[in-house]
Chain A
Amino acid sequence: MSTINLRVWLIIPDAEAATVKNTLIRRMGCGDILADVKKERLFSIDVDSGDPEVLAKAFAKELVNENKESHKVLIDTLSFEGAYVPVKVSLHIEDGEAISTRDRLRNRLGFKNVMSVKKATIWKLYLKGDDKERAAKEIAEGLLINPHKDSYEILSLAEDASLSR
């Protein structure tokens, strides 16, 4: 079993990330802890056979729109680079879009080795100050999630281990 992590980001301006940044700074008083916000989509696809590198290329063809997006593939690991804190937000209730993506890959496109698909948004928070974990937690709980349907995880830089939930 391998997990193919597909990190996908816009190469055109990301209006949603800009709105989140504006709201945090202008409306929620985060100007002294937040410098910038960027966003990625993350697909984590479990496959039970096949060459993950080859499969990843095929999946990217289906899940990434190269006219406006770029992507990076990571097999059995998830790491991030750069001076930001990655916050992973996903649904803790049933994720219909993830199920639809799995069904599309398995049933319509014939990738019978796809066992499951998980989908998340990675918010890349460029934070100021020393206590970045606390700042990320405040931002996640203040805006990025609704706890009645979303959960979040603060991922450590260049690591696949989480700092907190």
Chain B
Amino acid sequence: MKIAVMQFPGTNCEYECLVSAREVGMAGELFRWNRPAAEMSAFDGFIVPGGWSYADRIRAGAIASKEPVMDALREEAAKGKPIIGICNGFQILVESGLLPGTSGNGKVEMALAQNVMISNKKIVRRGYYVDWVTIRHDASPRRCSGSFDINKGELLQIPIAHGEGNLVTMEKGLIQKLNDEGQVVFRYCDSSGRTIPEFPVNVNGSTENIAGICNPEGNVLGMMPHPERAFFNWQLPPHDPRKHQMGAVGPGRKIFESMKRYIEARA
């Protein structure tokens, strides 16, 4: 089982993603954007990490989405291989039309716009934001490659770090369709699992608190939070009791374990 962690100019946390994939038992290597795209077919799954690909020029993910390697990634996605886009990786998958992928023709169906933090119906903050958030898994188990082993309603504490995570769309009925088809995988919520639409629970103003979605087939997942930054318990914040517990693991580990289980189940 071999995973490719995509690397564009400006990618970050690719090494953390690689370590996470290896820790759950998947072999992996970095795959630079300018490597022959045909070599991608040798991998069983792909992670598109976060960062600032091409320094977010024009808008986050726009330039990377035009790279030839993305055409190859579309082909691999069509084969049902798992792809997880994290933060900027999610933005790239949206800009390339791989997510939400309901049109089936690569059309860009949504945008991850600049964060707008709203409280009491007033804008209290805008722009880049870093924090630990709680996300609720809203899809059924086995619906999506990156949450294959996560129960519906399960809560995960994972950090975010982004300026453009506000999911918006002009496609009429798209959000309803995503809800109906179980493509909304994660939503921002409070520690009790309530999806309060205002800051600080909804950290970026995203429509219906959406933090992650998958394509109709479920093999492609995009999520704004960074699971690789919550993989080991020592990465957790000081107030989390699991931080110093022997044998405890970070909640982000479940994303990578799910990917592995998904690949095993497909085999």
Contact = CB atoms under 8 A, between A and B. Distances in A.
B244 interface: no
B158 interface: no
A131 to B, nearest CB: 23
B63 A93 contact: no
A149 B55 contact: no
Contacts of A100: 126
Contacts of A94: 116
Interface in A115-165: 143-144, 146-150
Interface stretch (B22-30, B107-115, B232-240, B254-262): B107-115
Contacts of B111: 146, 148-150
Contacts of B63: 19-20, 23
A15 B56 CA distance: 11
A39 to B, nearest CB: 10
A15 B168 CA distance: 28
B67 interface: yes
B246 interface: no
Interface of B is mostly: loop
B59 interface: yes
Given A96-B116, A96-B127, A143-B58, A148 B169 contact: yes
Interface in B66-113: 66-68, 95, 108-111, 113
Contacts of A99: 123
Contact of B168 (A16, A19, A23, A149): A149
A125 to B, nearest CB: 14
B57 A146 contact: no
A127 B62 CA distance: 22
A96 B63 CA distance: 23
A100 B123 CA distance: 11
A146 B113 CA distance: 9
Contacts of A16: 55, 57-58
A19 B123 contact: no
Interface residues of B, number: 25
Contacts of B67: 27
Given A28-B66, A96-B114, A15 B108 contact: no
Given A146-B108, A148-B110, A149-B111, A20 B58 contact: yes
B199 interface: no
B113 to A, nearest CB: 4
B170 A23 contact: no
Given A19-B54, A149-B111, A96 B95 contact: no
Contacts of B95: 146
Nearest to B115: A96
A148 B123 contact: no
Contacts of B123: 96, 99
A100 to B, nearest CB: 7
A93 B113 contact: yes
A101 to B, nearest CB: 12
Name the residue among A20, A23, A28, A146 with the largest chain B CB count within 10 angstroms: A146
Interface of B: 54-55, 57-59, 62-63, 66-68, 95, 108-111, 113-114, 116, 123, 126-127, 168-171
Which 6 A-B residue pairings sit nearest by Cβ, starting from the closest?
A148-B111, A96-B126, A149-B111, A146-B111, A27-B66, A149-B113
Interface of A: 15-16, 19-20, 23, 27-28, 91, 93-94, 96-97, 99-100, 143-144, 146-150
14 contacts: A15-B57, A19-B54, A19-B55, A23-B63, A23-B66, A94-B116, A96-B127, A97-B114, A146-B95, A148-B108, A148-B109, A148-B110, A149-B111, A150-B59
